[in-house]
């Protein structure tokens, strides 16, 4: 288990949960970042922040600070 911000582009995994309860995590859940959902790290912006991820059919851009709140299980 690791954090989404530690993954590299092209890796796939599954959302396990969040490391804290705050307004940001609540908003991420509203956007579809829910435990059990598959997630794919697509790419970084040119200066590394934000990162683009795919959850289901949606693509989201997340700051690395936000991604560090999401725990994931990386597929091997």
Domain-wise residue ranges, the chain: 2-74
pTM check: above 0.85:
yes
What is the C-alpha to C-alpha distance for residues 56 and 49, in angstroms, rounded to an integer?
A: 22
The one-digit pLDDT tens for each residue of the chain (76 residues) are 999 999 999 999 999 999 988 899 999 999 999 999 999 999 999 888 999 999 989 999 999 999 999 999 999 7
Location of structure tokens 């991420």 = 28
The structure tokens listed for 46 are 């040119």
pLDDT number for residue 22: 87
Domain 2-74: assigned CATH number: 2.30.30.90
Q: Quick one: pLDDT at residue 18? A: 95
> With b meaning 16 or more CB within 10 Å and e meaning fewer, what string describes 57-72?
eeebebeeebbebbbb
CA distance 44 to 6: 12
């Amino acid at each position: 288990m690791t954090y989404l911000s530690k993954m590299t582009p092209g890796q796939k995994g599954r959302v396990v949960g969040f490391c804290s309860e705050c307004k940001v995590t609540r908003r991420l859940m509203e956007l579809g970042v829910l435990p059990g959902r598959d997630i794919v790290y697509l790419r970084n912006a040119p200066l590394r922040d934000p990162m683009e991820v795919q959850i289901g059919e949606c693509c989201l851009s997340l700051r690395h600070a936000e991604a560090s709140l999401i725990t994931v299980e990386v597929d091997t």
